[in-house]
Amino acid sequence: MIVDLPSSTTSAVNKKLVELRESNGVLALGRVLTLVILTDDGSSIEGAIEAANAASREHPCRVIVLARGQRKAAPRLDAQIRVGGDAGASEVIVLRGYGPLASEEAGAGMVMPLLLPDAPVVAWWPGEAPAIPSQDAVGRLAQRRITDALSSKNPLKAFEQRRAHHVAGDTDLTWTRLTSWRALLATALDAPPHEDVTGATVAGEAVSPSTDLLAGWLAVRLDARVKRSPAEAGPGLVSVRLDRRSGPVELLRPDGKIGSLRQPGQPDRLVALARREVRDCLAEELRRLDPDEIYGAALAGVGRVTRGRAPVKIPAVTAGS
**75 cis-preceded (ω within 30 degrees of 0):** no
Q: How far apart are CA 121 and CA 63, in angstroms?
A: 10
- Beta-bridge partner residues of 315: none
Q: How far is CA 93 from the centre of its chain?
A: 21
Residues 45 and 142 in one domain: yes
Lowest-confidence region among 12-16, 42-46, 187-191:
42-46
Q: How far apart are CA 31 and CA 315, in angstroms?
A: 48
Which tens digits make up the pLDDT trace of 39-89? 988 768 999 999 999 998 888 899 999 999 888 889 999 999 998 776 666
Q: Residue 204 CB: number of other CB atoms within 10 A?
A: 26
On the question of pLDDT at 161 being above 60, the answer is yes
314 lies in some domain: no
Residues 85 and 194 in one domain: no
Residues 140 and 183 in one domain: no
Would you say 188 and 223 are in contact if contact means Cβ atoms under 8 Å apart?
no
**pTM for this predicted structure:** 0.93
On the question of pLDDT at 133 being above 80, the answer is yes
pLDDT grade for 320, boundaries at 50, 70 and 90: very low
- Beta-bridge partner residues of 263: none
| Structural domain count of the chain | 2
Q: What CATH number has the domain bearing residue 94?
A: 3.40.50
315 lies in some domain: no
Identify the DSSP state of 59: S
170 lies in some domain: no
Average pLDDT, the chain: 92
Would you say 143 and 289 are in contact if contact means Cβ atoms under 8 Å apart?
yes
* CA neighbor of 171 nearest in space, from 158, 180, 162, 182: 162
**Average pLDDT rounded to a whole number, residues 106-134:** 95
Residues 105 and 212 in one domain: no
Would you say 240 and 189 are in contact if contact means Cβ atoms under 8 Å apart?
no
On the question of pLDDT at 29 being above 60, the answer is no
Q: How far apart are CA 240 and CA 250, in angstroms?
A: 6
Q: Which helix (H) or strand (E) holds 54?
A: helix 44-56
Determine the structural domain holding residue 130 and report its residue range: 2-147
Question: Torsion-angle region of residue 69: left (phi > 0), alpha (psi -120 to 50) or beta?
Answer: beta
239 lies in some domain: yes
Residues 26 and 137 in one domain: yes
Residues 7 and 140 in one domain: yes
155 lies in some domain: no
161 lies in some domain: no
82 lies in some domain: yes
Q: How far apart are CA 133 and CA 150, in angstroms?
A: 16
pLDDT at 204: 96
Q: Residue 280 CB: number of other CB atoms within 10 A?
A: 16
Residue finishing a domain among 95, 128, 147: 147
Residues 143 and 11 in one domain: yes
Reduced to 3 states (helix: H, G, I; strand: E, B; else coil), residue 164 is helix
Would you say 66 and 40 are in contact if contact means Cβ atoms under 8 Å apart?
no
312 lies in some domain: no
Cβ-based burial of 77 (10 A; exposed 0-12, middle 13-18, buried ≥19): buried
